[in-house]
Amino acid sequence: MSARKILAIGAIFALACVGWWTLGVTTTMRSEEYGGRLAGEVQALWGAPLLQQAPSLAVEIPGSDQVRWLIPKENDIKVVLTTDYRKKGLIWYPTYVCNFDGNYTITNDETVAQKVRIHFQFPAQIGTYDAFEMTLDDQPITSPINTTEGVGEMIELAPGQNATFHVKYLTRGIREWRYVPDVNSGRVQNFDLSVATNFRDVDYPDGCLSPMTTERTDAGMELTWSATDLITRESIGVIIPEKLNPGPLTSRITFFAPVCLLFFFVLVATINILYKVNIHPMHYLFVAAGFFAFHLLLAYLVGVISIHIAFIICAIVSVGLVTTYLSAALKGQFPWKIAIAGQIFFLVLFSYSFFLEGITGLTVAIGSVVTLAVLMKVTADVNWDEVFAKRPKPHPTPPPLTRVDPRPSGEPS
Protein backbone atom coordinates (compact mmCIF):
# COMPACT_ATOMS: atom_id res chain seq x y z
CA MET A 1 0.00 0.00 0.00
CA SER A 2 1.63 3.21 -1.16
CA ALA A 3 1.82 6.46 0.77
CA ARG A 4 -0.23 8.19 -1.93
CA LYS A 5 -3.05 5.70 -1.47
CA ILE A 6 -2.95 6.14 2.33
CA LEU A 7 -3.16 9.93 1.92
CA ALA A 8 -6.08 9.58 -0.47
CA ILE A 9 -7.94 7.34 1.98
CA GLY A 10 -7.21 9.82 4.77
CA ALA A 11 -8.64 12.66 2.67
CA ILE A 12 -11.79 10.61 2.01
CA PHE A 13 -12.15 9.93 5.74
CA ALA A 14 -11.76 13.64 6.51
CA LEU A 15 -14.38 14.51 3.89
CA ALA A 16 -16.79 12.00 5.47
CA CYS A 17 -16.16 13.53 8.91
CA VAL A 18 -17.10 16.97 7.57
CA GLY A 19 -20.33 15.53 6.16
CA TRP A 20 -21.24 13.86 9.44
CA TRP A 21 -20.40 16.97 11.42
CA THR A 22 -22.68 19.03 9.17
CA LEU A 23 -25.49 16.50 9.45
CA GLY A 24 -25.06 16.25 13.23
CA VAL A 25 -25.17 20.01 13.70
CA THR A 26 -28.26 20.23 11.49
CA THR A 27 -30.05 17.53 13.46
CA THR A 28 -29.09 19.17 16.75
CA MET A 29 -30.39 22.54 15.58
CA ARG A 30 -33.65 20.95 14.45
CA SER A 31 -34.05 19.29 17.86
CA GLU A 32 -33.24 22.46 19.80
CA GLU A 33 -35.51 24.53 17.58
CA TYR A 34 -38.38 22.12 18.15
CA GLY A 35 -37.57 21.82 21.84
CA GLY A 36 -37.42 25.56 22.48
CA ARG A 37 -40.35 26.54 20.29
CA LEU A 38 -42.68 23.70 21.17
CA ALA A 39 -41.97 23.36 24.90
CA GLY A 40 -44.17 26.37 25.62
CA GLU A 41 -46.89 24.99 23.39
CA VAL A 42 -46.80 21.64 25.20
CA GLN A 43 -47.07 23.33 28.61
CA ALA A 44 -49.94 25.50 27.38
CA LEU A 45 -51.78 22.44 26.06
CA TRP A 46 -50.84 19.90 28.69
CA GLY A 47 -49.70 21.70 31.82
CA ALA A 48 -46.62 22.93 33.68
CA PRO A 49 -44.49 21.13 36.31
CA LEU A 50 -46.73 20.69 39.33
CA LEU A 51 -45.80 21.98 42.78
CA GLN A 52 -48.48 21.27 45.35
CA GLN A 53 -48.18 23.25 48.57
CA ALA A 54 -49.74 21.97 51.76
CA PRO A 55 -52.74 24.04 52.86
CA SER A 56 -51.89 26.80 55.32
CA LEU A 57 -53.91 27.17 58.53
CA ALA A 58 -53.89 30.53 60.30
CA VAL A 59 -55.59 31.66 63.54
CA GLU A 60 -56.15 35.37 63.90
CA ILE A 61 -54.83 36.83 67.16
CA PRO A 62 -57.53 39.05 68.70
CA GLY A 63 -56.67 42.72 68.88
CA SER A 64 -53.84 42.58 66.29
CA ASP A 65 -53.19 42.07 62.61
CA GLN A 66 -50.95 39.10 63.30
CA VAL A 67 -51.83 35.45 62.89
CA ARG A 68 -50.70 32.24 64.53
CA TRP A 69 -50.00 29.33 62.23
CA LEU A 70 -51.71 26.08 63.03
CA ILE A 71 -50.27 22.62 62.32
CA PRO A 72 -52.62 19.87 61.07
CA LYS A 73 -52.71 16.94 63.47
CA GLU A 74 -52.81 14.43 60.63
CA ASN A 75 -51.76 14.59 56.98
CA ASP A 76 -52.92 11.73 54.77
CA ILE A 77 -52.11 12.29 51.07
CA LYS A 78 -52.41 9.83 48.21
CA VAL A 79 -51.09 10.64 44.74
CA VAL A 80 -51.18 8.63 41.52
CA LEU A 81 -48.84 9.66 38.69
CA THR A 82 -49.54 8.15 35.27
CA THR A 83 -47.25 8.93 32.36
CA ASP A 84 -48.84 10.04 29.09
CA TYR A 85 -46.00 11.14 26.81
CA ARG A 86 -46.59 13.72 24.08
CA LYS A 87 -44.43 14.11 20.96
CA LYS A 88 -43.81 17.40 19.19
CA GLY A 89 -41.39 17.46 16.28
CA LEU A 90 -38.35 15.35 17.19
CA ILE A 91 -38.92 15.57 20.96
CA TRP A 92 -40.92 13.40 23.35
CA TYR A 93 -42.11 15.40 26.37
CA PRO A 94 -42.53 13.63 29.76
CA THR A 95 -46.14 14.60 30.42
CA TYR A 96 -48.27 12.87 33.04
CA VAL A 97 -51.66 12.77 34.73
CA CYS A 98 -51.82 13.50 38.48
CA ASN A 99 -54.59 12.23 40.71
CA PHE A 100 -54.32 14.02 44.07
CA ASP A 101 -56.30 13.09 47.19
CA GLY A 102 -55.43 14.81 50.47
CA ASN A 103 -56.99 14.71 53.93
CA TYR A 104 -55.89 17.12 56.68
CA THR A 105 -57.16 16.91 60.28
CA ILE A 106 -57.44 20.26 62.04
CA THR A 107 -57.70 20.33 65.85
CA ASN A 108 -58.43 23.18 68.28
CA ASP A 109 -56.26 22.45 71.31
CA GLU A 110 -57.20 25.70 73.02
CA THR A 111 -59.80 26.12 75.74
CA VAL A 112 -61.67 28.72 73.72
CA ALA A 113 -63.26 28.66 70.28
CA GLN A 114 -60.98 29.66 67.40
CA LYS A 115 -61.55 30.91 63.89
CA VAL A 116 -59.20 29.15 61.48
CA ARG A 117 -58.52 30.50 58.02
CA ILE A 118 -57.73 27.75 55.49
CA HIS A 119 -55.92 28.60 52.31
CA PHE A 120 -55.32 26.06 49.57
CA GLN A 121 -53.03 26.90 46.64
CA PHE A 122 -53.36 25.05 43.34
CA PRO A 123 -50.19 23.34 42.00
CA ALA A 124 -50.27 25.30 38.74
CA GLN A 125 -51.85 28.71 38.40
CA ILE A 126 -52.75 28.11 34.79
CA GLY A 127 -54.11 24.60 34.84
CA THR A 128 -57.19 22.50 34.33
CA TYR A 129 -58.65 20.50 37.23
CA ASP A 130 -61.14 17.72 36.71
CA ALA A 131 -63.19 15.77 39.30
CA PHE A 132 -62.47 18.56 41.79
CA GLU A 133 -63.71 18.05 45.34
CA MET A 134 -63.16 20.23 48.41
CA THR A 135 -65.01 19.38 51.60
CA LEU A 136 -64.95 20.13 55.31
CA ASP A 137 -66.25 17.22 57.38
CA ASP A 138 -67.82 15.82 54.20
CA GLN A 139 -69.65 19.09 53.55
CA PRO A 140 -68.78 20.66 50.16
CA ILE A 141 -67.03 24.02 50.20
CA THR A 142 -68.72 26.24 47.66
CA SER A 143 -66.37 29.23 47.78
CA PRO A 144 -65.48 30.93 44.48
CA ILE A 145 -62.36 29.39 42.94
CA ASN A 146 -59.49 31.28 41.40
CA THR A 147 -56.63 28.99 40.39
CA THR A 148 -54.21 31.94 40.51
CA GLU A 149 -55.01 33.04 44.05
CA GLY A 150 -56.17 29.70 45.42
CA VAL A 151 -59.14 28.92 47.65
CA GLY A 152 -59.75 30.50 51.09
CA GLU A 153 -62.22 29.41 53.74
CA MET A 154 -62.90 30.48 57.33
CA ILE A 155 -64.15 27.95 59.89
CA GLU A 156 -64.81 28.12 63.61
CA LEU A 157 -63.76 25.28 65.92
CA ALA A 158 -65.00 24.78 69.45
CA PRO A 159 -62.47 23.81 72.15
CA GLY A 160 -61.13 20.32 71.42
CA GLN A 161 -63.08 20.03 68.19
CA ASN A 162 -61.63 18.27 65.13
CA ALA A 163 -62.36 19.00 61.49
CA THR A 164 -61.20 17.18 58.35
CA PHE A 165 -60.30 19.25 55.33
CA HIS A 166 -60.38 17.17 52.14
CA VAL A 167 -59.28 18.15 48.63
CA LYS A 168 -59.21 16.00 45.53
CA TYR A 169 -58.57 16.71 41.86
CA LEU A 170 -57.30 15.30 38.58
CA THR A 171 -54.86 17.40 36.55
CA ARG A 172 -51.95 17.18 34.15
CA GLY A 173 -48.29 18.18 34.39
CA ILE A 174 -44.88 17.78 32.82
CA ARG A 175 -41.37 16.63 33.87
CA GLU A 176 -41.79 16.50 37.67
CA TRP A 177 -44.23 16.56 40.56
CA ARG A 178 -43.50 18.13 43.97
CA TYR A 179 -45.20 18.47 47.34
CA VAL A 180 -44.10 21.25 49.71
CA PRO A 181 -44.97 21.26 53.45
CA ASP A 182 -46.38 24.49 54.83
CA VAL A 183 -43.42 26.89 54.96
CA ASN A 184 -45.16 29.01 57.61
CA SER A 185 -45.28 26.29 60.24
CA GLY A 186 -42.09 24.44 59.19
CA ARG A 187 -43.38 21.35 60.92
CA VAL A 188 -45.43 18.31 59.89
CA GLN A 189 -47.12 15.90 62.29
CA ASN A 190 -48.47 12.42 61.61
CA PHE A 191 -47.48 12.73 57.99
CA ASP A 192 -48.29 9.96 55.50
CA LEU A 193 -47.84 10.56 51.77
CA SER A 194 -47.89 7.80 49.18
CA VAL A 195 -47.17 8.16 45.46
CA ALA A 196 -48.15 5.36 43.08
CA THR A 197 -46.53 5.42 39.63
CA ASN A 198 -46.95 3.41 36.45
CA PHE A 199 -43.18 3.50 35.88
CA ARG A 200 -40.26 1.93 37.73
CA ASP A 201 -37.44 4.22 36.60
CA VAL A 202 -37.96 6.53 39.58
CA ASP A 203 -35.72 9.50 40.31
CA TYR A 204 -36.00 12.48 42.64
CA PRO A 205 -35.25 16.20 42.15
CA ASP A 206 -32.22 17.70 43.85
CA GLY A 207 -32.86 18.85 47.40
CA CYS A 208 -35.91 16.62 47.88
CA LEU A 209 -36.53 14.04 50.57
CA SER A 210 -36.15 10.44 49.49
CA PRO A 211 -39.04 8.10 50.33
CA MET A 212 -38.87 6.08 53.52
CA THR A 213 -40.09 2.95 51.72
CA THR A 214 -40.30 1.89 48.09
CA GLU A 215 -42.28 -1.09 46.88
CA ARG A 216 -42.44 -2.62 43.42
CA THR A 217 -45.99 -3.14 42.14
CA ASP A 218 -47.48 -4.76 39.05
CA ALA A 219 -47.96 -1.34 37.42
CA GLY A 220 -44.86 0.47 38.66
CA MET A 221 -43.74 1.68 42.09
CA GLU A 222 -45.32 2.63 45.42
CA LEU A 223 -43.34 5.36 47.20
CA THR A 224 -44.11 6.29 50.81
CA TRP A 225 -43.03 9.21 52.96
CA SER A 226 -44.10 8.97 56.60
CA ALA A 227 -43.14 10.75 59.81
CA THR A 228 -44.55 11.28 63.26
CA ASP A 229 -43.17 14.76 63.85
CA LEU A 230 -41.02 16.13 61.02
CA ILE A 231 -39.28 19.48 60.93
CA THR A 232 -38.12 20.32 57.44
CA ARG A 233 -38.26 22.87 54.67
CA GLU A 234 -37.34 20.37 51.99
CA SER A 235 -39.94 19.30 49.47
CA ILE A 236 -40.95 15.86 48.26
CA GLY A 237 -40.74 15.19 44.55
CA VAL A 238 -40.67 12.66 41.74
CA ILE A 239 -39.09 13.13 38.32
CA ILE A 240 -41.02 11.70 35.39
CA PRO A 241 -38.59 9.55 33.35
CA GLU A 242 -37.64 10.84 29.91
CA LYS A 243 -38.65 8.83 26.90
CA LEU A 244 -36.06 8.06 24.24
CA ASN A 245 -35.86 11.27 22.20
CA PRO A 246 -35.13 10.62 18.49
CA GLY A 247 -33.61 14.04 17.80
CA PRO A 248 -30.83 14.14 20.43
CA LEU A 249 -30.20 10.40 20.05
CA THR A 250 -29.75 10.69 16.28
CA SER A 251 -27.34 13.60 16.79
CA ARG A 252 -25.16 11.55 19.15
CA ILE A 253 -25.12 8.60 16.76
CA THR A 254 -24.18 10.88 13.87
CA PHE A 255 -21.31 12.56 15.71
CA PHE A 256 -19.95 9.12 16.62
CA ALA A 257 -20.09 7.87 13.00
CA PRO A 258 -16.42 8.65 12.13
CA VAL A 259 -15.31 6.13 14.76
CA CYS A 260 -17.45 3.43 13.10
CA LEU A 261 -16.06 4.26 9.66
CA LEU A 262 -12.48 4.29 10.93
CA PHE A 263 -12.84 0.76 12.28
CA PHE A 264 -14.37 -0.42 9.02
CA PHE A 265 -11.63 1.22 6.95
CA VAL A 266 -9.08 -0.65 9.07
CA LEU A 267 -10.99 -3.87 8.33
CA VAL A 268 -11.02 -3.17 4.58
CA ALA A 269 -7.30 -2.33 4.60
CA THR A 270 -6.57 -5.58 6.46
CA ILE A 271 -8.50 -7.55 3.83
CA ASN A 272 -6.56 -5.69 1.17
CA ILE A 273 -3.31 -6.91 2.73
CA LEU A 274 -4.32 -10.48 3.61
CA TYR A 275 -6.28 -11.33 0.45
CA LYS A 276 -4.10 -9.19 -1.84
CA VAL A 277 -7.18 -7.50 -3.28
CA ASN A 278 -6.51 -4.30 -5.17
CA ILE A 279 -8.85 -1.84 -3.40
CA HIS A 280 -8.75 1.63 -4.94
CA PRO A 281 -9.36 4.82 -2.87
CA MET A 282 -12.55 5.34 -4.90
CA HIS A 283 -13.83 2.12 -3.38
CA TYR A 284 -13.25 3.64 0.07
CA LEU A 285 -15.16 6.74 -1.04
CA PHE A 286 -18.26 4.76 -1.98
CA VAL A 287 -18.01 2.74 1.24
CA ALA A 288 -18.01 6.02 3.21
CA ALA A 289 -21.04 7.14 1.20
CA GLY A 290 -22.82 3.91 2.12
CA PHE A 291 -22.12 4.57 5.81
CA PHE A 292 -23.29 8.16 5.46
CA ALA A 293 -26.56 6.96 3.91
CA PHE A 294 -27.39 5.24 7.20
CA HIS A 295 -27.23 8.47 9.22
CA LEU A 296 -28.80 10.65 6.53
CA LEU A 297 -31.86 8.41 6.31
CA LEU A 298 -32.05 8.03 10.09
CA ALA A 299 -31.99 11.80 10.66
CA TYR A 300 -35.18 12.28 8.66
CA LEU A 301 -37.01 8.98 9.15
CA VAL A 302 -37.15 9.42 12.94
CA GLY A 303 -39.45 12.40 12.47
CA VAL A 304 -41.96 10.19 10.63
CA ILE A 305 -41.84 6.69 12.13
CA SER A 306 -40.68 4.97 15.31
CA ILE A 307 -36.96 5.35 15.92
CA HIS A 308 -36.52 1.59 16.34
CA ILE A 309 -38.17 0.83 12.99
CA ALA A 310 -36.19 3.66 11.36
CA PHE A 311 -32.95 2.25 12.77
CA ILE A 312 -33.66 -1.22 11.34
CA ILE A 313 -34.54 0.17 7.90
CA CYS A 314 -31.44 2.35 7.75
CA ALA A 315 -29.19 -0.52 8.88
CA ILE A 316 -30.55 -2.84 6.16
CA VAL A 317 -30.15 -0.16 3.49
CA SER A 318 -26.59 0.75 4.48
CA VAL A 319 -25.35 -2.84 4.85
CA GLY A 320 -26.98 -3.75 1.53
CA LEU A 321 -25.39 -0.79 -0.26
CA VAL A 322 -21.86 -1.39 1.01
CA THR A 323 -21.85 -5.18 0.63
CA THR A 324 -23.34 -5.33 -2.86
CA TYR A 325 -21.06 -2.54 -4.05
CA LEU A 326 -17.85 -4.17 -2.80
CA SER A 327 -18.86 -7.54 -4.24
CA ALA A 328 -19.70 -6.03 -7.63
CA ALA A 329 -16.79 -3.60 -7.84
CA LEU A 330 -14.14 -6.14 -6.83
CA LYS A 331 -15.57 -8.95 -8.98
CA GLY A 332 -16.21 -11.33 -6.10
CA GLN A 333 -12.64 -11.11 -4.77
CA PHE A 334 -13.81 -9.29 -1.62
CA PRO A 335 -15.08 -11.61 1.17
CA TRP A 336 -18.60 -10.21 1.44
CA LYS A 337 -19.45 -12.24 4.58
CA ILE A 338 -16.65 -10.50 6.44
CA ALA A 339 -17.88 -7.16 5.12
CA ILE A 340 -21.40 -7.80 6.40
CA ALA A 341 -20.15 -8.94 9.81
CA GLY A 342 -17.81 -5.94 10.06
CA GLN A 343 -20.45 -3.38 9.17
CA ILE A 344 -23.03 -4.92 11.51
CA PHE A 345 -20.46 -4.89 14.31
CA PHE A 346 -18.93 -1.45 13.77
CA LEU A 347 -21.91 0.50 12.44
CA VAL A 348 -25.08 -1.19 13.68
CA LEU A 349 -23.94 -2.51 17.07
CA PHE A 350 -21.90 0.56 18.00
CA SER A 351 -24.75 2.87 16.97
CA TYR A 352 -27.38 0.82 18.80
CA SER A 353 -25.37 1.09 22.02
CA PHE A 354 -26.62 4.70 22.24
CA PHE A 355 -30.11 3.32 22.89
CA LEU A 356 -28.78 1.78 26.12
CA GLU A 357 -28.16 4.54 28.61
CA GLY A 358 -24.96 4.23 30.59
CA ILE A 359 -23.23 1.42 28.68
CA THR A 360 -22.38 3.13 25.37
CA GLY A 361 -18.78 3.77 26.38
CA LEU A 362 -18.38 0.25 27.73
CA THR A 363 -19.76 -1.25 24.51
CA VAL A 364 -17.38 0.76 22.34
CA ALA A 365 -14.43 -0.05 24.62
CA ILE A 366 -15.13 -3.79 24.51
CA GLY A 367 -15.65 -3.66 20.75
CA SER A 368 -12.37 -1.80 20.26
CA VAL A 369 -10.42 -4.32 22.34
CA VAL A 370 -12.00 -7.26 20.51
CA THR A 371 -11.19 -5.66 17.17
CA LEU A 372 -7.61 -5.06 18.22
CA ALA A 373 -7.23 -8.68 19.35
CA VAL A 374 -8.58 -10.01 16.05
CA LEU A 375 -6.37 -7.72 13.96
CA MET A 376 -3.29 -8.64 15.97
CA LYS A 377 -4.10 -12.32 15.50
CA VAL A 378 -4.70 -12.28 11.74
CA THR A 379 -1.80 -9.93 10.91
CA ALA A 380 0.82 -11.52 13.17
CA ASP A 381 2.58 -13.19 10.20
CA VAL A 382 2.36 -10.25 7.81
CA ASN A 383 5.66 -8.95 6.45
CA TRP A 384 5.08 -5.22 6.87
CA ASP A 385 8.28 -4.31 5.04
CA GLU A 386 6.88 -6.05 2.01
CA VAL A 387 3.47 -4.44 2.41
CA PHE A 388 4.86 -0.90 2.57
CA ALA A 389 7.76 -1.49 0.18
CA LYS A 390 7.93 1.02 -2.63
CA ARG A 391 6.94 -0.69 -5.81
CA PRO A 392 9.27 -0.03 -8.75
CA LYS A 393 7.65 1.76 -11.61
CA PRO A 394 7.29 -0.49 -14.63
CA HIS A 395 9.41 0.66 -17.59
CA PRO A 396 7.46 1.16 -20.80
CA THR A 397 8.09 -1.49 -23.44
CA PRO A 398 9.85 0.03 -26.48
CA PRO A 399 8.03 -0.32 -29.78
CA PRO A 400 9.32 -3.08 -32.10
CA LEU A 401 11.97 -2.05 -34.62
CA THR A 402 10.91 -2.01 -38.27
CA ARG A 403 13.43 -2.70 -41.07
CA VAL A 404 13.76 0.12 -43.60
CA ASP A 405 14.59 -0.73 -47.22
CA PRO A 406 17.52 1.54 -48.31
CA ARG A 407 16.77 1.23 -52.04
CA PRO A 408 14.88 3.97 -53.80
CA SER A 409 11.24 3.36 -54.29
CA GLY A 410 10.32 1.84 -57.61
CA GLU A 411 13.74 0.09 -58.03
CA PRO A 412 13.31 -3.62 -58.64
CA SER A 413 14.39 -5.83 -55.81
Residue-wise pLDDT for 30-58, tens only, equals: 776 655 555 566 666 777 899 999 999 98
> Facing residues of 237 across strands?
178
* Amino acid (1-letter code) at residue 371: T
57-66 pLDDT tens trace: 988 777 677 7
Percent of the chain with pLDDT over 90: 34
Q: Which pLDDT band holds residue 145 (cuts at 50, 70, 90)?
A: confident
Mean pLDDT of the chain: 85
Give which of 148, 111, 113, 112 is closest to 129, Cα–Cα: 148
CA distance 48 to 33: 20
Assign 407 a pLDDT band (cuts: 50, 70, 90).
Answer: low
Tell me what pLDDT residue 248 has. Answer: 83
Q: Provide the pLDDT confidence category of residue 340 given band limits of 50, 70 and 90.
A: confident
C-alpha–C-alpha distance, residues 280 and 287, integer Å:
11
Domains of the chain: 3-32+245-387 (no CATH), 47-239 (2.60.40.3680)
Supply the Cα-derived Rg of the chain in whole angstroms: 36
Look at residue 214 and tell me whether its pLDDT is greater than 90: yes
pLDDT tens, residue by residue, 341-392: 888 888 888 888 888 877 778 888 888 888 888 878 877 777 777 766 666 6
78: pLDDT strictly greater than 90: yes
CB 44 within 8 A of CB 271: no
**Residue 361 CB-half CA count within 13 A:** 1
Q: Which of 201-205, 213-217, 354-358 has the lowest mean pLDDT?
A: 354-358
pLDDT over 80 (residue 408): no
- Helix spans in 195-335 (H): 246-274, 281-301, 307-329
Q: Is 394 exposed, middle or buried (0-12, 13-18, 19+ CB in 10 A)?
A: exposed
Please give the full DSSP string across 218-258, using - where no structure is assigned: SSSEEEEEEEEEEE---EEEEEPPPP--HHHHHHHHHHHHH
Q: Is 61 helix (H, G, I), strand (E, B) or coil?
A: coil
Q: DSSP class of residue 44?
A: H
Which pLDDT tens digit goes with each residue over 216-275?
A: 999 899 999 999 988 887 899 999 998 888 888 888 899 999 999 998 888 888 887 787
What integer pLDDT is reported at residue 330 of this predicted model? 82
Question: How far apart are the C-alpha atoms of 167 and 104, rounded to whole Å?
Answer: 9
Interior/surface letters 301-326, b for 16+ CB within 10 angstroms, e for the rest: bbbeeebeebbeebbeebbebbbebb
Residue 185: which pLDDT band, with cuts at 50, 70 and 90?
confident
What's residue 194's pLDDT? 96
Give me the mean pLDDT over the 133-156 stretch: 86
Give the span between the Cα atoms of 96 and 85, in whole angstroms: 7
- How many angstroms separate the CA atoms of 327 and 37, rounded? 47
DSSP string, 100-130: EEEEEEEE--SSS-EEEEEEE--S-SS---E
For the segment 96-115, what is each residue's pLDDT rounded down to a tens digit?
A: 999 999 999 999 888 888 88
Q: What digits encode the pLDDT tens for the residues 288-299?
A: 999 999 999 998
pLDDT at 404 exceeding the cut of 60:
no
Better pLDDT: 60 or 150: 150
Distance CA 73, CA 75 (A): 7
The whole-number pLDDT of residue 60 equals: 79
Counts for the chain of helices (H) and strands (E), in that order: 8, 18
